[in-house]
Amino acid sequence: MTLDSVDKQLLNIIQSHLPIEPEPYKKLAETLGTTEEDILARLKRLIKKGVIRRLGAIFDSRRVGYSGTLCAMKVPAERIEEVAAVINSFPGVTHNYLRDHPYNMWFTLLVESQTKLENTLEEIKRRTGITDMLHLPALRIFKIRVNFDLGDDDNA
């Protein structure tokens, strides 16, 4: 998908500087020299095309009492799709990746409490029948944020 300069500037801004005010899209339009309707149309198009996966706030899960972990499982090749579907059915699973490693399925789980975390991991093991799982909670967070600078020119 080709992005024009306004698309790129819009994406750069909304990653971490979405205006917190009653009419944020109007403010974005003023900043970018266009209309609120144009901003909304661009956002809808970028969401539809999959450029924007999600538009919303990100909160510090630990500060609101959530518990999270990174997990890895040894999943037989012939069961990859089946096991991925089971894991993905849990609302607390935020990411799930297949990797070239003996522990080949890696996912993150974020839930409301440590008890719910432990119960969910046990339920995943039960429903998949796979008990060989690494449970790797973070001891310290060094970085959890990323912003992509898309520039502001019309070159894709």
Tens of pLDDT, residue by residue over 50-90, are 999 888 877 777 888 889 999 999 999 999 999 999 999 99
In a domain? residue 19: yes
Please give the residue range of the domain that contains residue 119.
Answer: 61-136
What residues contact residue 30 under an 8 Å CB cut-off, 6+ apart? Answer: none
Strand partners, 67: 111
Strand partners, 134: 72
Confidence (pTM): 0.72
71 and 128 in a single domain? The answer is yes
Q: How many CB atoms lie within 10 A of CB 39?
A: 22
The mean per-residue pLDDT over the stretch 36-57 comes to 92
Q: Any idea which residue has 């008890």 for tokens?
A: 115
44 and 68 in a single domain? The answer is no
- Based on the structure, what is the number of domains in the chain? 2
In a domain? residue 24: yes
Has residue 149 got a pLDDT over 90?
Answer: no
Say if residues 66 and 137 touch (Cβ distance below 8 Å). Answer: no
Q: What SS3 class is residue 123? A: helix
In a domain? residue 149: no
Say if residues 115 and 66 touch (Cβ distance below 8 Å). Answer: no
Has residue 111 got a pLDDT over 90?
Answer: yes
In a domain? residue 74: yes
